[in-house]
Amino acid sequence: MADCLFCQIASGAIPADIVHQDDDVVAFRDIDPQAPHHVLVIPRRHIEAVRDATGPEGEQLVGRLMAAAAAIATDLGLDERGYRLVSNTGVDGGQSVFHLHVHILGGRPMKWPPG
Ligand code: 5GP
Ligand code: ZN
């Protein structure tokens, strides 16, 4: 999608601090980190949010995103202490970029409930 920020990061048109990429998934450090480790995991394919990842293909894509997030968290050394995965969805969810993404947040204790 030409005017989508994360599509442009996935294609390399806009630079980012990429920590992982493969045929389906790109992961890069958040520009405004909310924890010592804050990485965004996105599908290369433009999908607005998790609610749009429907059907067998959508399920497979969400599975790939979560598996990639877990593998990246391992690479970042977060397994022992743990981490949080978040996918903000829509206005009430606090989504600000409308291309599906999973936040990996780690390196400090997380609070609950979230704000
Ligand atoms: P959301 O609010 O949609 O859940 O998350 C979007 C995230 O994208 C935010 O945490 C924000 O800091 C991050 N972000 C926005 N613009 C850029 C950018 O140009 N580069 C990177 N690396 N992250 C961005
Ligand atoms: Zn996009």
Instruction: Report the atom number in ligand 1 closest to the C-alpha of 29.
Output: 22
In this predicted structure, what is the pLDDT of residue 48? 98
Under the banding of pLDDT at 50, 70 and 90, the label for residue 69 is: very high
- CATH level 2 (architecture), domain 5-106: 2-Layer Sandwich (3.30)
pLDDT of 1 above 90: no
Closest CA to 82 of 21, 28, 37: 37
pLDDT of 84 above 90: yes
> How far does residue 30's CA lie from ligand 2's centre (Å)?
16
Strands 25-29 and 18-21: antiparallel
Q: What is the pLDDT of residues 10-58, one digit of tens each?
A: 999 999 999 999 999 999 999 999 999 999 999 999 999 999 999 999 9
Which protein residues have a CB closer than 5 Å to ligand 2 (ion)? Answer: 1, 4, 6-7, 46, 99
Residue 91 beta carbon below 6 angstroms from any ligand 1 atom: no
Under the banding of pLDDT at 50, 70 and 90, the label for residue 103 is: very high
pLDDT of 59 above 90: yes
Under the banding of pLDDT at 50, 70 and 90, the label for residue 115 is: confident
Closest CA to 87 of 66, 68, 106: 66
98 contacts: CB under 8 Å, gap ≥ 6:
4, 48, 49
Average pLDDT over residues 102-112: 98
